[in-house]
Chains A and B, each alone.
Chain A
Amino acid sequence: MLTHAWIIPLIPAISFVLILAFGKKLPRGGSEIGLASVAICFVLALAVGAAWIGRVNHPPEAGAVEKHVAAVVAQSENSLAKSAPDAPAHANKAAAGAEEEHVTEPVVREITWFQNEGVTIKVGTMVDGLSALMLVVVTLISMLVHVFSTDYVSGDRRYTHYFGFLSLFTASMLFFVLAENTLQMIVGWELVGLCSFALIGHWWEEKANSDAALKAFLTNRVGDIGLLCGVIILYFAAGKTFDTITINTLANQGEIRHFLLLIASLSLMTAVMSKSGQFVLHTWLPDAMAGPTPVSALIHAATMVVAGVFMIARLYGVFFNGLSIGTANINVMAVIGAVTLIGAGLLAFVQSDIKKVLAYSTVSQLGYMVMALGVGGWTAGIFHLFTHALFKACLFLGAGSLAHHIHSFDMKKDMGGLRKVMPWTYRTFVIGTLALVAVPPFAGFWSKDEILASSQQLGGPGGYKLMLVMGTLGAALTGAYMTRAIWFVFFGERRGASATHDMHENGPRIVVPLVILAGLACIAGFANLPNTGFLSWVPESVALRFEHYVEPTGAYFPSAANAFSHPKFNILLALVSTGVGLLGVLGAYLWFWKDLGPHRLTERNKIARAGYVVLEKKYGLDILYTDVIAGGIKGPIAKATYWFNQNVIDGVVNLVASTARTTGEWVYKNIDQGVVDNVVKGSGLAAEGSGEVLRKAQTGKVQAYGAYLFLGAAVLAAIFVVIAS
């Protein structure tokens, strides 16, 4: 199965084509094709996962990767050609160093995509723990979202189109996570962006929706500048190859100059900032909520937006060494993550739209993931990616379930008191919240705790203190804004549309996915149960399974030689962070349920008021981007350029032409009428073959000009040749 993983993206790709071709004629509008294909993919993904676990348990003899790298290095003729004979030797050393643990090598299968400059560039699949995990996560969430959507968007004017794009998205995302080289990653990266664009703008009749779609696409394009540059730099740095294993291996072995790795990492970080909604390029993500809610769950919470996190994880050799993650106390990636998790957490407080609360929460949690990777906690970050996908999808689908009848997401205006009428939505939403707030033993606790432990223990001496503090503070924010959301939605009086509508629990196609996701949010955390300290009683065969199976081993992943290590469970830290999170919950509880605290502070206190306005204006970034930058380029700058074009550049052209014409007419009248006249007449006669098509005056002019030009040219050529020789 591991070598046949290419089938998995192919199935939804075919499904996309089939839905487009026949979807409308089918009884269920094409959704049956989409659902069937993603279900098959899910089964196959599980098979890949199982096969990978088998491979880790019984690893075949290592050496394939080494050969692979040597082959790639040997093929590239230029910059690294000199070191090519040495490369296998280095790989040997690294392999010898990594012998303390068994190495499970990824399974690579590739074919030639194209050749250029005599170099063949491959396309193929690379299966290791990370891609196997992503396969399972993507297909699982996608399948549940498909089921949910059959009810949620039923009767939609573009039902078939909706399922078509879900299939295309699934295919692109699977293609992306299986990518064996960076070029392939660009392709997948952009294609998921396209699907995001199409699905955000699903209801494009309204300008607000198409605006949001454009904003998403363009913001991501800005980040893509970094992606393109980063990939290009790595291509040349690794000796003309896009191969991720080779790039990582060479980076870990110190074969690539640190400066290049640093520049490449910084460039790629820009791409991560846009795709994974990191400050300051996150602004598109909340707007992306204009799309249908299941899309928000699948694309803008669980899968696509983690593409940036995935890319960091995939190219970890580059980032780890480029940003000196293992030995520093602060670095760009960790700072971006930390700022994002706090900044977005604050914004979640001023939202009245439940999807916006969840969107900012997603941004904040993506900040945790990036921060985790930034402090060196690879497994922590990816584990959080995994748990977050489950509970955030649960929350988003829950929001969809709430709004299914009332078609409004405004918690303040149209919701309230819904816990009685929608009991299953309520229960699952609360479980999702508990997981998000990181209450033990729910999934989020284990992953967030590991992130905090990483920032405490990894890096240079003293660890990443700032990240630890901000991560802990973020826990309080999370607790508070989610409690606030629960208050507005489920408690108090029913308001607005929900008061006038007959509210009742949704049907099984909506509730069952919620229950499944909530169930997983309860238990998923145990996948990486630590067995140190307080938990040392956990048997070896159960503990840290996630790390054991998902974290790559071998030369293409940073090793102890690169100062890479793992954090240990710290009961004190776990208690403190949980306590801080619950403090946030308590604060919100007292504020909303008990009406305690300085209510209406923003009306009385100027500073509080100013803070509120800053948050409400989203730190002014939207104004800066949309009005100042985009508006400026679209408006004055573009107009000025065009004015310049019409009046200066074209003005010169017209001036030259009219001067030539005046001169020409003068010459024609006064000097050599005889010669030119004959030329004109001759060509005029020839042209007359095409009949009335030619207007007389024009003919004469053009032919005359032509004759002059060539006469001039011949004279010039003669002069030129005389001078040159």
Chain B
Amino acid sequence: MKDLLNGWGPTAAVFLPLVGAAVLLAIPKSEETLQKVVALASSLAVFFIGVALMVDFDYDKSAKMQFLVDKTWIEMINSRYIMAIDGISLPLIALTVFVVPLVIIYSWNHFPEPHNPKAFLALILILETGMVGTFVAQDLLLFFVFFELVLLPMYFMIGVFGGEQRKYASLKFFLYTAFGSALMIVSILATYFLSPKVNIDGQMLHTFSMIELSHWAGSGLAKGTAILVFGGFFMGFGIKVPMFPFHTWLPDAHTQAPTQGSVILAAVLLKLGTYGFVRIAIPILPIGAVWWAPIIGGLAVIGIIYGALGCLAQTDMKRLIAFSSVAHMGYVMLGISTLTSFGINAAIFGMVAHGLITGMLFFIAGSVKDRFHTLEIKRLGGLLLQAPRMGWLLAFSCMASLGLPGLAGFWGEFPAILSAYSPADGLNVALFRFFMVVAAIGTVFAAGYLLWLLQRVAFGEPTEEFKDEHIHDMHLTDYLAWSPMIVLIVVLGIYPNLIFKVTDGAVIQSLSHIAGH
């Protein structure tokens, strides 16, 4: 088992969904149940591979790249097929393989218009390949391929299955992120050409290997160069996160995307950006990171307050939740910007927690839309009376989202705020302490918009419009899709070590070129 995983574990996890998608395309259009079963089976298979990887992962050596595969890929430029997992990628892989089957289960009777399960499920599976691939790739080009692969299925998902303004939203999503990617590929190529040459079969070649590049860590680079190259990564990843002021694609994409798209977007896609910072930009270019950190931290705390204010102005439930992502990712980025292991551990925790919690909120928003055919907050009310279970879950998710201790959200938020008190050497302590206070104030705002949402949607009496309507509470698929997420939100909240222990070693190692981390 161990040997099998060592050689093929990550590869199988990456490409199995693609196989599933291929099989799906071969099934005739009328066989909907079979399509669903195939899609679910392949995502579950990936999930079990993920579980097997987690079981076999050596947690005492989380800093070490495990299940490493290193094969020749594009010989001419020494870009290699390198896949491996360490403590930083493991939680995110786990999150991805966990969320996708739940999304498929939720879809069972909730396919968005135009009704086409085959295409829809195929898109989800292709997405999964891209997402898992991004988290396991250890070669910059390979990483980039997967990073970009994610764009297309999401573009189609929004553009075809989305809401009324799907065209605008999908195009904006695609172009905005592609713009970032363009700058990122500049930085990738620059990194490649700047990296020291190594001897490959008698040829002196540069390297794309992220493992080797982070050992090199930009030593010998001029400071200005490191800053510029980091800048390209910053744009690529920062747009994906999204960081203020590059966030405007997000509310549109989220609002227009079908529920499943929103869930995947919030749960995993945004993390590609933050993961990029942690995995690539900071370890490879620590000098650039130190220069950029105050800017990142500043934009992060602006995002926290700004996102919250944006939330307060929303009249649409889904758009409000979308805006809240800007604020929440602000905490993640604040943790990253401290360049301390405490902050980055918190950031990774925050990524997983945000994925679960905001995913849950989007699920509920989707079900509300399904029942009431509107998400306009003004028209809703008294959800607790008409659909008590959904109402309570909304309350639960809001509480988790505002960072209530005992639930997962807290462990992404509080440690990130804490880490800002004492950032890495070379960063302005006073400035980061100011960030800390602003971020702490942001927690009040978070409580404000979430509870206000809860009050307007769940409390009170149903509005005249829906007073006499029979609203169906949760379906079986809702129970199946949501309960694992809720359990995980509680379990991670009670015992945060489940993630911190995994990431800690790897994060400390990734910061080994930054003083005072």
Contact = CB atoms under 8 A, between A and B. Distances in A.
A713 B185 contact: yes
A236 B190 contact: no
Interface in B421-456: 421-422, 436-437, 440-441, 443-445, 447-448, 451-452, 455
Contacts of A218: 444, 447-448, 451
B444 A709 contact: no
A690 B119 contact: yes
A563 interface: no
Contacts, number: 198
B447 A225 contact: no
Contacts of A221: 443-444, 447-448
Given A186-B414, A639-B313, A705-B175, 18 more contacts: A112-B497, A116-B415, A204-B384, A210-B460, A214-B451, A221-B447, A633-B445, A634-B448, A645-B248, A645-B306, A657-B175, A690-B122, A702-B175, A705-B174, A706-B178, A710-B185, A714-B185, A724-B225
A633 B245 CA distance: 21
Which 4 A/B pairs are nearest by Cβ-Cβ distance? A642-B313, A638-B312, A114-B497, A187-B405
Given A118-B504, A204-B459, A721 B193 contact: yes
Contact of B414 (A228, A650, A725): A228
B128 to A, nearest CB: 16
A201 interface: yes
A641 interface: yes
Contacts of A690: 119, 122-123, 156
Interface string B162-173: 000001000110
A717 B459 contact: no
B37 interface: no
Interface stretch (B78-86, B208-216, B338-346): B338-346
A470 interface: no
B310 A645 contact: yes
B437 A225 contact: yes
Contacts of B155: 702
User: Which of B346, B418, B421, B437 neighbours the largest number of chain A CB atoms within 10 Å of its CB?
Assistant: B418
B186 A642 contact: no
Contacts of A114: 411, 495-497, 500-501
Given A118-B504, A218-B451, A232 B436 contact: yes
B310 A638 contact: yes
Interface string A210-233: 110010011001101100110011
B176 interface: yes
Given A229-B437, A698-B167, A720-B186, A725 B172 contact: no
B508 A725 contact: no
A191 interface: yes
A50 to B, nearest CB: 31
A653 interface: yes
Contacts of B309: 633, 637-638, 641-642
Contacts of B225: 724
A641 B441 CA distance: 17
Contacts of B405: 186-187, 190-191
B51 interface: no
Contacts of B178: 705-706, 709
A716 interface: yes
Given A204-B460, A710-B185, A116 B342 contact: yes
A205 interface: yes
B375 interface: no
Interface centre among B25, B156, B455 (most CB of A within 10 A): B455
Contact of A205 (B228, B385, B452): B385
A613 interface: no
A713 B179 CA distance: 9
Interface in A193-212: 194, 201, 204-207, 210-211
B399 interface: yes
Interface string A626-647: 0000100110011101100100
Q: Give the interface size class of chain B.
A: 35 or more
A701 interface: yes
A717 B140 CA distance: 15
B310 A642 contact: yes
Contacts of B228: 720, 724
The residue among B176, B190, B342, B461 with the most chain A CB atoms within 10 A of its own CB is B190
12 contacts: A115-B501, A117-B340, A117-B508, A191-B404, A210-B459, A228-B417, A638-B309, A638-B313, A653-B248, A710-B182, A713-B185, A724-B225
Contact of A116 (B245, B341, B448): B341
A721 B441 CA distance: 43
The SS class assigned to the B binding surface is: helix
A691 interface: yes
A634 B312 contact: yes
B451 to A, nearest CB: 5
B149 interface: no
Contacts of A694: 156, 160
B190 A225 contact: no
B354 to A, nearest CB: 18
B239 to A, nearest CB: 11
Contacts of B222: 724
Interface of B: 25, 116, 119, 122-123, 155-156, 159-160, 167, 171-172, 174-176, 178-179, 181-183, 185-186, 189-190, 193-194, 222, 225, 228-229, 245, 248-249, 306, 309-314, 340-342, 345-346, 382, 384-385, 399, 404-406, 410-411, 414-415, 417-418, 421-422, 436-437, 440-441, 443-445, 447-448, 451-452, 455, 458-461, 495-497, 500-501, 504, 508
B156 A725 contact: no
A183 B459 CA distance: 32
Nearest to B248: A650
A97 B194 CA distance: 64
Most chain B beta-carbon contacts within 10 A, residue among A112, A117, A221, A693? A117
Nearest to A710: B182
Contacts of A721: 189-190, 193-194
B159 A698 contact: yes
A113 interface: yes
Given A229-B440, A713-B185, A717-B185, A113 B174 contact: no
A696 B183 CA distance: 28
A191 B406 contact: yes
A217 B245 CA distance: 30
A194 B402 CA distance: 11
A637 B384 CA distance: 30
Interface-centre pick from A114, A116, A702, A720 (highest chain B CB count, 10 A)? A116
Contacts of A650: 248
B116 A693 contact: yes
B297 to A, nearest CB: 16
B404 A190 contact: yes
Contacts of A689: 25
A573 B159 CA distance: 80
A207 B116 CA distance: 43
A205 B313 contact: no
A478 B496 CA distance: 47
B384 A225 contact: no
A649 B443 CA distance: 24
A235 interface: yes
Contacts of A204: 384, 458-460
B504 A115 contact: yes
Given A204-B384, A214-B455, A709-B178, A693 B119 contact: yes
Nearest to B395: A198
A190 B493 CA distance: 13
A712 interface: yes
B187 to A, nearest CB: 8
A114 B414 CA distance: 14
A115 B500 contact: yes
Contacts of B248: 645, 649-650, 653
